[in-house]
A and B are shown apart, each in its own frame.
Chain A
C-alpha cells in the first residue's frame, strides 16, 4: 500500500505569473517527504496538482510508475489532509469518516438521504463500512466522538477526524497541506510525534507541505526546499542544515537565522574577512559571503581561526542557553547572533568582557561560503595547511 511519486517538470501559471517553474522531484515509496518554503512559493499548488485538484500547465505526474495527468482526483488513490481540515460540516464524525468508503462500496441510490436506508441487500456492505470506520477511529483515539458534529470538536479533535478520513480507505499516498498550523503550540508538538509514528506504522508515502522548519526537520526522511516556484535543494534534514547548496536555503533553515558576513577572495583564492586574513581558500575571486551558524560562533580565543570585531547589542535568555545579539561592520545587515550556554554568559558578564568590544570567531570548518549568485562555494581549508598558510601570508 505504498507508491512512488514522480514529478516531472511541472509548470503552473496563475494569471501572468509563473507559480511553478518546471519542478521535478522523485519521491520514493514509503518516504516522508516535506515540501518547505515561504508562503507563496508554490508548495501548496504543487500538492494540489499531485492530487489532481488543479491541472498543471506543463509537465507530468506519475504515481507508482503510472502517468496520472488525465486521471480525476478519486482515481489517483491519494488522500489529503487540509490545513482547514475541510470536514463536512453537517455530517457527524462517523459520516465524515465513512463517506469515502460509502462512495466506493455502496451504489449511488443507497447513498440518498432517507430513501437509501431502505435499499435491500446492502447489510454486509454497511457493516463493513462501520467496522472500518471503527478501526480507524480507534487508531486516532476518537471512538467516543463518532456521534458529534465537527462544530462540537476542538481543533485537535478535528485534526484527528481529518486524519481518520484520509486513512480509512488506505491510500497509497498521503498529501498533507500544513495540517498542524491551526493547532496551538503544545498540541502541534504532540501531533508531530503522532504523525511520524503514523507514517512508520502505515508505511505509506507521505508528502507534507509546511512552512515550519521544525516540522520539516523532525519528521521527514527528506526535505525539498522550494523558493519562487523552484525546488532549491532536496536532502535529508540534517544535510539541509549542515550543507545548504544555496544561500537562500541557509537563511531559511535554522533559527535564529544564519549569520552572513561579507568577505573577499584574493587573486590566489585566499579569503579575507575585513582586514583579517583567514585560512580559507576557494576557487572564486572577488566578493563572497561567509555564513556562520549562531552555534558555530563563539567568543574568540587563541584557537579561533576566523575572527571579527563586534559590539554587544542585547542578550536574549532562552532558558538553557542565551542569544547574544551583536552589531558588526562586516557587511550583510551588520547583525550577528551568537548562541552560548547560560553559564558561559554569566562567566563573561562577571569578568566584565561583555562591556568592552568583543572579538568573536569560529572554526574554519564551520564556515559556509557562498558566491555572488548565492550558490555554495567549495572551501579548501586543511588543518595542517592552516598554520603554514598563515605564516606565509604574514611573511609576504
Chain B
C-alpha cells in the first residue's frame, strides 16, 4: 500500500489529487451506470432482467436477438430518419438566421442595437412551454399540424445561438474585417468566407447542443405529431413501449441503444471541437 502511494507520488499524484479523482470516479459511475445497464439489458434474455441477484455480465448471451426483434417490431430506422431530417432542418435554419444576426450585433453600430441585444437575452429566459399554446393554435389554424414543418418551426430562431455567436464574433479582430473590405470583399462574403470559418469550434459546439436537444425532445413532438410515421426517436420509443406493454425489456433497451447511437457517434467525432468551442466561448 505505502509502496503504491510512493509510486503515485512520484507520478505527481498527492493524496489530494487521489481524493479528487475518487470523487470524480463516483460521478462517472453515476452517469455511466444507467447507460451500461441499457446496453447490458439489450444483450441478455428477458428472464434475466428480473432476477434478484445482480450480475455485471449476461449469464446467457443472446447476441443481437433483441436488436433484431426491435428492428422488426418497430420502424426504428424510420424514427431515426425523422430525427435526422428534423435535427438537420432545425440546425440549418438556426445557423442561417443566427449567424447574420449575431454578426450584426457584434460588429455593426445601428439604432436600437442595445435594445435588440437585451431582447435576445430576455428571450433566453423563455422556455418552450410558454409559447407552446399560441404556436399550437397557429399551426392548427394554418393546417400544418402533424408535419415535419410543425416539428421544426418553433426552433428555427435560436436566441442561444445568436448570443453564443455574438460572443465569438465580438472577439474576431476588426483589422481582418477592415483588410477584407479594402481587398474589395462584400459584406456578406466577409461574414461567410472570412468570419464564419474561424468560428468552426463554436459552430460545432452549438450544433451538438442543438442536435442533442432536438433528437431527444419528446415534449413538442408529443403535442404536434399524431402520425407514427412522422415520429422522431423519443416519440417513436414511446409508441414502441406502449405497443408491447413493457414485457420485452431486452428489445426496448436494444431500440434505445440504437436510437442514442447516432448522438454518441457525432459527439465522439466533434468532441475536440466541442470542448474547444465551449471553453473558448465561456458558455456553461
Whether A90 sits at the interface, judged by CB under 8 Å, is yes
Pair B178/A86 contact, Cβ less than 8 Å? yes
Pair A86/B175 contact, Cβ less than 8 Å? yes
Pair A84/B175 contact, Cβ less than 8 Å? yes
Pair A82/B185 contact, Cβ less than 8 Å? no
CB-CB under 8 A from B179, the residues of chain A are: 80, 82, 86-88, 165
Whether A227 sits at the interface, judged by CB under 8 Å, is no
Number of A-B residue pairs, CB cutoff 8 Å, is: 58
**Distance, CA A108 to CA B173, complexed state (A):** 25
Query: Which of chain A's residues 76-102 have a Cβ closer than 8 Å to chain B?
Result: 78-80, 82-84, 86-90, 99-100
Q: Which of A48, A99, A103, A108 contacts B178 (CB 8 A)?
A: A48
Q: Which of B180, B182, B186, B197 contacts A79 (CB 8 A)?
A: B182
**Distance, CA A132 to CA B189, complexed state (A):** 23
Whether A273 sits at the interface, judged by CB under 8 Å, is no
Pair B178/A51 contact, Cβ less than 8 Å? yes
Whether B183 sits at the interface, judged by CB under 8 Å, is yes
Measured CB to CB, the nearest residue on chain B to A113 is B193
Pair B181/A53 contact, Cβ less than 8 Å? yes
- How many residues of chain A are within 8 Å of chain B by beta carbon? 25
Whether A104 sits at the interface, judged by CB under 8 Å, is yes
B183 CB, min distance to chain A CBs, angstroms: 4
> Given A89-B198, A90-B198, does the pair A53, B182 have CB atoms closer than 8 Å?
yes
Whether B176 sits at the interface, judged by CB under 8 Å, is yes
- How many residues of chain B are within 8 Å of chain A by beta carbon? 17
Pair A82/B178 contact, Cβ less than 8 Å? yes
B195 CB, min distance to chain A CBs, angstroms: 10
B175 CB, min distance to chain A CBs, angstroms: 4
Whether B194 sits at the interface, judged by CB under 8 Å, is yes
Pair B173/A84 contact, Cβ less than 8 Å? yes
Q: Which of B173, B182, B186, B197 contacts A80 (CB 8 A)?
A: B182
**Distance, CA A103 to CA B186, complexed state (A):** 9
CB-CB under 8 A from A83, the residues of chain B are: 175
Whether A59 sits at the interface, judged by CB under 8 Å, is no
Pair A99/B197 contact, Cβ less than 8 Å? no
**Distance, CA A336 to CA B124, complexed state (A):** 63
Pair B173/A86 contact, Cβ less than 8 Å? yes
Q: Can you list 11 residue pairs at the A/B interface with Cβ under 8 Å?
A: A74-B181, A74-B184, A78-B182, A80-B182, A82-B175, A84-B175, A86-B176, A88-B179, A100-B182, A100-B183, A103-B183
Q: Nearest 9 pairs between A and B by C-beta?
A: A74-B184, A86-B175, A86-B179, A100-B183, A103-B184, A90-B197, A82-B175, A86-B176, A73-B181
